[in-house]
Structure 1
Amino acid sequence: MTPGTSATSGAPAPATGSRRMPEKRQAIARAASTVFGREGYTRASVDAIAAEAGVSKRTIYNHFGDKEKLFLSVALETAGELTEIIAGLADRHLHKIVDLEADLNTFALDRARAVLGAGDHYALGRTIRAEAGNIPTEVLNAWLDAGPLASQRDLAAHFGRLADQGLLHVEDTELAATQFTLLTFSGAADATFYGAIHLPEAELTAGVTAGIRAFLRLYG
């Protein structure tokens, strides 16, 4: 698979909160997500986004103000959609535990497939990571809070509940959530350059399985 394609198959489609936008604004947001993901924050131009969306530059400025505000709007929307997907997976797999290791493993695999297979949605995340030094700090912080940090807070809450049930031994739930992600997702993210290239399913599964076993040695 070539760069720019999904790293996995069978991932849930991102939620489409943008459907609630007016049609023209939605078209601009879709185009901006594509152009920013393809060209990066610095190189992407309002002209290119306008051409992709089939609208005038003035229309973009009327809806979003400027390039920075457009990027922030699209970044927050895509981050929120992925956060919603991950929260749904956590509720599905971790709300009622049948087999702790198996349920953690299934959640971690589904999360990795969903995020790495999110296409243009995750391409924007690659742009943010690659160009962090060129993106306004307030935009970075807002994206982190709506995306990665929100998912970590939700996972920490699940681990706190599992600890209350005696299924995990966790003193710091936020640290446990961070280490869970490092052990079960970060390796796949690095290997795929954050979803830009393909990772064979067998390698993804092996990495997640080993990560879950390490996590349970720490917190089981």
Structure 2
Amino acid sequence: MERPPMDPSDTPRAAGRAPGGHPAKRAAIDAAARTVFGNEGYSRASVDAIAAEAGVSKRTIYNHHRDKAQLFLTVLQQSARAVAEYHEGLIDRHLGTPPPDLAAALTRLGHGLAVPHEDFAGHFALVRVIFAEARHLPEHVLQGWRETGPGRVHSRLAERMGALAEEGGLSGGPPEELAAHFTQLVASEVYERSFHGALPLPQEETDALIASGVAAFLALHGPR
């Protein structure tokens, strides 16, 4: 049976060929990929468009990245890692030691986690691509993003909430469950209503949603 023609934009570089080239060109390619994927989505984005945005040839892109899926995963993990480090810092700052006012600390943390920082606008554009096109993305891309970003932040949040539970500041479940409930009650509604930062909510609405979520979380898991 004759194989269908391959989409030229998805043509991989030769098997076994190692990535190489000038670091500045790779940085330009990665920046261009974030822009094109964020604007066009995964399926519509082409390696031709990324090459044009970066000012390089397609051959140069394939010197650095095996194919479109690997390029998408690379830039996604780069930004996911940066966001995860930022969020871990927030968690450590607000919950690293037992706060004197737990509700206030959880509220500040909720704002930090739920409202995308302007420095990471490009990353959350890629996150919106993931949710819109999950069915069309390779499984290893989805798994790589989970492990590098959300999974890492969830683990740190569970660790800190477990420590608070041991000291009597929280109750009502294992650390993984405490972290999941906090995220669901405090951050998820803000994510959904703002379409993951695409349409930022009015400050008053964001404040009300986070305050309500923190109150519900403490009613469920506050000290007994």
**TM-score normalised per structure 1:** 0.87
Which residue of the partner structure matches residue 143 of structure 1?
145
Q: Gapped runs of 5+ residues in structure 2?
A: 1-21
Which residue of the partner structure matches residue 41 of structure 1?
42
Task: Report the residue type matching 2:52 in the other structure.
Answer: A
Which residue of the partner structure matches residue 6 of structure 1?
none
Q: Gapped runs of 5+ residues in structure 1?
A: 1-20
Question: How well do the aligned residues superpose, as a CA RMSD in angstroms?
Answer: 1.4
- CA distance in 1 between counterparts of 2:118 and 2:206 reads 11
Larger Rg: 2
Residues 29-68 of structure 1: pairs in structure 2 closer than 5 A: 29-68=30-69
Residues 126-165 of structure 1: pairs in structure 2 closer than 5 A: 126-165=128-167
Which residue of the partner structure matches residue 17 of structure 2?
none
Highest RCO, 1 vs 2 (Cα 8 Å, sep ≥ 6): 1
Identity %: 47
Which residue of the partner structure matches residue 71 of structure 1?
72
Q: 1:170 to 1:80 in 2, by over 3 A?
A: farther
User: Does structure 1 retain, via aligned residues, the 8 Å contact 2:90–2:109?
Assistant: yes
Per-residue deviation, 1:198: 2.0
Which residue of the partner structure matches residue 169 of structure 1?
171
Task: Report the residue type matching 1:38 in the other structure.
Answer: N
- Where do 4+ consecutive residues of structure 1 move more than 3 Å? 114-117
Which residue of the partner structure matches residue 93 of structure 1?
94
User: Does structure 2 retain, via aligned residues, the 8 Å contact 1:117–1:195?
Assistant: no
- CA distance in 2 between counterparts of 1:215 and 1:116 reads 27
What is the count of residue pairs matched by the alignment?
200
User: Does structure 1 retain, via aligned residues, the 8 Å contact 2:115–2:190?
Assistant: no
User: Does structure 1 retain, via aligned residues, the 8 Å contact 2:35–2:122?
Assistant: yes
